[in-house]
Structure 1
Amino acid sequence: MTEDEPLDAEDYASVHRATALLSAYYHLHTMTLNACMEAWAEFVAEVEEGVEAMWAWEFDNDTRHRDALHSAWPILTERVRALRQPELDALDARFRAATAPIKPLGMSASEMAAQPRWWRWRYPLRVTGDPADELPPTWSPPPLHVD
């Protein structure tokens, strides 16, 4: 199959199965592959601009969109993955550029980077809000405070 050929029934069935799995992550409503990719893109943009310091302790929870994509990706056909992989790779590259590895917790930096859910081992380089708000100790050195 080439990139110009339309998706077939197997491709659409895989997207449907992925939607069911993604929806389980979000409990109350249907979450499509497109919507989950958009949610990851919006979160990446927020991280690039600066995470609100008062919500720093929620940062790990906010990576759930990438967790959901990680779980859904193997369900998709090779063709669907190939079509969407460049978009996901670009978002992941932006996230890596806007974050740094957390201070190791019993793991080396290379071990953390090799984890299947590598985004869980990173913190934002920029924060906004009250400079007095406490940040997680694993965010070391502290992110740049911007307003």
Structure 2
Amino acid sequence: MESELLDAEDYASVRRATQTLSTRYHGVLTLNARMEAWAEFVTDVEEGFDTMWAWEFSHDVADRDWLHDAWPILTERVRRHRQAELDALDERFRMVTAPVKLFGAGQSPMTGQARWWRYRYPLKVTGDPAEQLPPTWSPAPTHVE
């Protein structure tokens, strides 16, 4: 598929998303910056998430939340331009995480939710093996060096 050039309307939609979501997400970051932040987080999870930050894991997915909220604001052309990249990052994230399980539940009812990334935990962790992990991270992730 030949690459489509973005026009003024496309760039305006990116600016609109950035401005609209800046107060909700405490900062003015561009679409590129949010995509890069999500990519860096996915890489961190692939390499092994540090147990010291286990209780912050749900906060660390905020860049993916931003992308979710920005998508409807962006023009169709911008979404088409970035969708394959986002899909690839999401797939990588799914591959290195597992769905959280609610207490006593065999399978997480959150798996099919719109913000599915909020209901997953890393399969590999680094850091202190004695560090307490959230109880929904079950079975426990594998510690790697």
Q: TM-score, normalised by structure 1?
A: 0.90
* Residue 97 (structure 1) aligns with: 95
Name whichever structure is richer in helix by fraction.
1
- Partners of 1:131 and 1:107 lie apart in 2 by 25
Q: Is the 8 A contact 2:41 2:60 kept in 1?
A: yes
Letter paired with 1:23: S
The 1:4–1:49 alpha-carbon spacing in structure 2 relative to 1, beyond 3 Å, is: closer
Q: Deviations over 1:63-92 (max 9, x none)?
A: 001011111111000110001000000000
* Residue 139 (structure 1) aligns with: 137
Secondary structure of the residue aligned to 2:98 is strand
Q: Deviations over 1:9-28 (max 9, x none)?
A: 2211111111113433442x
The 1:92–1:137 alpha-carbon spacing in structure 2 relative to 1, beyond 3 Å, is: same
Q: TM-score, normalised by structure 2?
A: 0.91
Aligned residues: 145
The 1:20–1:4 alpha-carbon spacing in structure 2 relative to 1, beyond 3 Å, is: same
Query: Which stretches of structure 1, 4 residues or longer, exceed 4 Å deviation after superposition?
Result: 105-108
Q: Is the 8 A contact 2:45 2:122 kept in 1?
A: yes
Matched, 1:121 2:114: no
The 1:16–1:104 alpha-carbon spacing in structure 2 relative to 1, beyond 3 Å, is: same
- Partners of 1:11 and 1:47 lie apart in 2 by 32
Alignment root-mean-square deviation, CA: 1.9
Q: Is the 8 A contact 2:98 2:121 kept in 1?
A: yes
1:114 is displaced (CA, Å) by: 1.3
- Partners of 1:41 and 1:26 lie apart in 2 by 18
1:109 is displaced (CA, Å) by: 3.6
Moved more, 101-110 or 119-128: 101-110
- Partners of 1:82 and 1:50 lie apart in 2 by 31
* Residue 19 (structure 1) aligns with: 18
1:130 is displaced (CA, Å) by: 0.6
- Partners of 1:3 and 1:26 lie apart in 2 by 34
Q: Is the 8 A contact 1:126 1:146 kept in 2?
A: yes
- Partners of 1:76 and 1:31 lie apart in 2 by 15
Secondary structure of the residue aligned to 1:41 is helix
* Residue 52 (structure 2) aligns with: 54
Percent sequence identity over matched residues?
A: 68
Query: Match for 2:83 among 82, 85, 89?
Result: 85
